[in-house]
Amino acid sequence: MMVVEPITYIRRDERGTAWIADTNKKVIEVAMDQRAYGWDAEEIHAAHPHLSLAHIHAARSYYFDHQRELDAEMERQVEGHHRRRSEAAGQMTRAELLERLGRK
């Protein structure tokens, strides 16, 4: 008889956000690294050495199982970022602020 062993590397919080268990890393963050940079599991591991390859593969598997939902969330985050940047147009940059403070 074959026994199926569940993989428990992924947890969902009360809001439904998927996290890599026992870490402070969301599954979507691993998916974004993969999508934005084209990184494979080893490259993601090099960037986030606190994650095991098992964690990374579990996150990638979860992403592929929920790709439509997570891709839509990534698009919402990018749109929100662009909206906030456009709303902040005309505000001082960090360099401008430091320059102004240096003159006082």
Q: What is the pLDDT of residues 34-56, one digit of tens each?
A: 999 999 999 999 999 999 999 99
Q: Which domain holds residue 51?
A: 10-103
In-domain check, residue 58:
yes
For 65-79, how does the pLDDT look when each residue is reduced to its tens digit (9 = 90+)?
A: 999 999 999 999 999
- Give 45's contacts (C-beta < 8 A, 6+ positions apart): 51, 52, 53, 56
Is residue 2 included in any domain, yes or no?
no
Are 63 and 27 in contact by the 8 Å Cβ rule? The answer is: yes
What is the count of structural domains for the chain? Answer: 1
Model pTM score: 0.76
In a domain, 5, yes or no: no
